[in-house]
Amino acid sequence: LEEIQFQCVAPGKRFQQMDSLSGGEKTIAALALLFAMHRYNPSPFFVLDEIDAALDNTNIGKVASFIREYASARAQIIVISLKEEFYSRADSLIGIYPDILCARQSGLIQMCFASIYYESPQTSLFATACYQH
């Protein structure tokens, strides 16, 4: 979004330049712009990489709820996240581990595992598709 300039006002705050907003506020503003553009010119899916990195747990919950509601009506959304607060709300999960011995169950989510193995000369990957009970 380097060439696009837009302004926003965080709820309950006065106007500030984008550079003065917190990382979480910038993330929310960028997501608002992204989803507004998607409503104007829809695509069948999104891939969002660690959008929750700068968010606190309250805003993670709000963003996850919005994405769940938005996705059910308009698009499939794939989110890469390392935060259980976010991925525990997913319809399905895929975990990728560098070594099969690293794979384990989450304490908060009951999962059943369907495993796929991939061997290459450089590395072996273990991919796990996980579905909530």
Per the CB < 8 A criterion, the answer to whether 97 and 63 are in contact is no
**Model pLDDT for residues 95-113, shown as the tens digit of each residue:** 766 655 555 544 434 444 4
- Please say if the pLDDT value at position 130 is more than 50: no
Least confident of 14-18, 97-101, 128-132: 128-132
Could you read off the pLDDT of 69-100 as tens digits, one per residue?
Answer: 888 777 888 899 888 888 888 888 877 666 55
User: Of residues 95 and 52, which shows the higher confidence score?
Assistant: 52
What pLDDT sits at residue 132?
Answer: 36
Q: The whole model's pTM is what? A: 0.69
Q: What is the pLDDT of residues 53-72, one digit of tens each?
A: 999 999 999 999 999 888 87
Write down the mean pLDDT value for the chain. 75
